[in-house]
């Protein structure tokens, strides 16, 4: 079973040729990008891409799900279950959290268990996650921790550079919108995004990153080529490529903030079509110089 699910990770890009780095930087060019017109909109994922407040969330979600699956009496080993869960959790990473819980309920059912409402699993996950991150949120609010310590390095600079270049910034997250707004605010990000902050809502059918992208294109009557998408998850990279935009994978090392790309994220995001990979935003000016190089 775990083998079948290993293949669930749908690699869209079979072979990429040799990649190159922009000289003297950590910016990896997977596919050369030549734009016909300057980017006008940038859509950012939140957790893992900008915010590190929820760093470690998979270490909460995955064991919780393994525990639920073990309770079905399945003969699969904890190791196999962990592999299986990790794969579907990561494949759905970027969608609203409820989709991961819907999948958990399906997996419980497939093993003869009677799942609860996916919302109940989401609530339990959130309680467990809050135990882990409450102290970070409190430390930010009290000023004990500076926002920069819980941001992917050089986040403010990257956002400022894009704004200077006339790019409108959007934030779209699979985390519940009230938490995204609150955490964006305590991290000092709200001024960069203004009212363009979107997250999961109660009726999960009425929100997706795809919808945010489609709305930007429709309301502004622009082509997908004017979009940049930045994220560390599968879904946003896939969505931005589907819309015809440029996908920048942020293969962030969330726990270490080392400036070295997380290889697992890098490989998987290249597999869904990322054009450029960065470990964080330290060389983001070079990314922009590259993208804008032949544009007036
Ligand atoms: Mg993310």
pLDDT at position 242 is 95
Which residues sit opposite 249 in a β-bridge?
A: 231, 277
CA 180 – ligand 1 centroid, Å: 12
Residue partners of 123: CB distance under 8 A and separation at least 6: none
CA 55 – ligand 1 centroid, Å: 10
* Three-state DSSP state, 129: helix
pLDDT at position 8 is 43
CA 47 – ligand 1 centroid, Å: 4
CA 90 – ligand 1 centroid, Å: 10
* Model confidence pLDDT, tens digit, residues 38-71: 999 999 999 999 999 999 999 999 999 999 999 9
Residue listed under structure tokens 């470990």 = 279
pLDDT at position 210 is 93
Residue ranges of the chain with per-residue pLDDT less than 70:
1-12, 14-15, 296
- pTM to 2 decimal places: 0.92
Domain at 20-52+151-291, CATH homologous superfamily: HAD superfamily/HAD-like (3.40.50.1000)
CA 175 – ligand 1 centroid, Å: 9
pLDDT at position 17 is 79
pLDDT at position 3 is 35
pLDDT at position 94 is 86
Q: Enumerate the domain spans of the chain.
A: 20-52+151-291, 58-142
């Amino acid at each position: 079973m775990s083998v079948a699910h290993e293949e669930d990770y749908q690699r869209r890009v079979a072979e990429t040729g040799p990649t190159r780095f922009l000289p003297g930087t950590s910016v990896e060019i997977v596919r050369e990008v030549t734009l016909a017109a300057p980017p006008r909109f940038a859509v950012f994922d939140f957790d893992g891409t900008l915010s590190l407040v929820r760093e470690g969330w998979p270490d909460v979600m995955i064991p919780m799900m393994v525990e639920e699956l073990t309770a079905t009496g399945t003969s699969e080993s904890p190791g196999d279950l962990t592999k299986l869960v990790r794969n579907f959790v990561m494949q759905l990473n970027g969608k609203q959290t409820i989709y991961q819980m819907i999948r958990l309920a399906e997996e419980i059912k497939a093993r003869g268990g009677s799942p609860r409402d996916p919302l109940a699993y989401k609530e339990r996950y959130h309680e467990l996650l809050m135990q882990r991150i409450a102290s970070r949120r409190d430390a930010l609010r009290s000023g004990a921790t500076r926002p920069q310590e819980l941001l992917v390095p050089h986040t403010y600079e990257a956002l400022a550079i894009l704004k200077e270049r006339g790019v409108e910034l959007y934030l779209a997250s699979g985390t519940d919108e009230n938490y995204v707004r609150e955490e964006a605010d305590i991290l000092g990000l709200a001024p960069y995004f203004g009212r363009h902050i979107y997250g999961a809502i109660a009726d999960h059918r009425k929100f997706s990153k795809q919808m945010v992208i489609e709305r930007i294109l429709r309301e502004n009557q622009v082509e997908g080529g004017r979009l940049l998408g930045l994220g560390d998850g599968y879904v946003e990279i896939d969505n931005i490529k589907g819309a015809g935009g440029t996908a920048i994978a942020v293969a962030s090392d969330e726990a270490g903030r080392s400036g070295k790309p997380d290889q697992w994220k890098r490989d998987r995001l290249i597999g869904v079509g990322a054009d450029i990979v960065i470990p964080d935003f330290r060389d983001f000016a070079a990314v922009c110089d590259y993208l804008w190089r032949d544009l007036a």
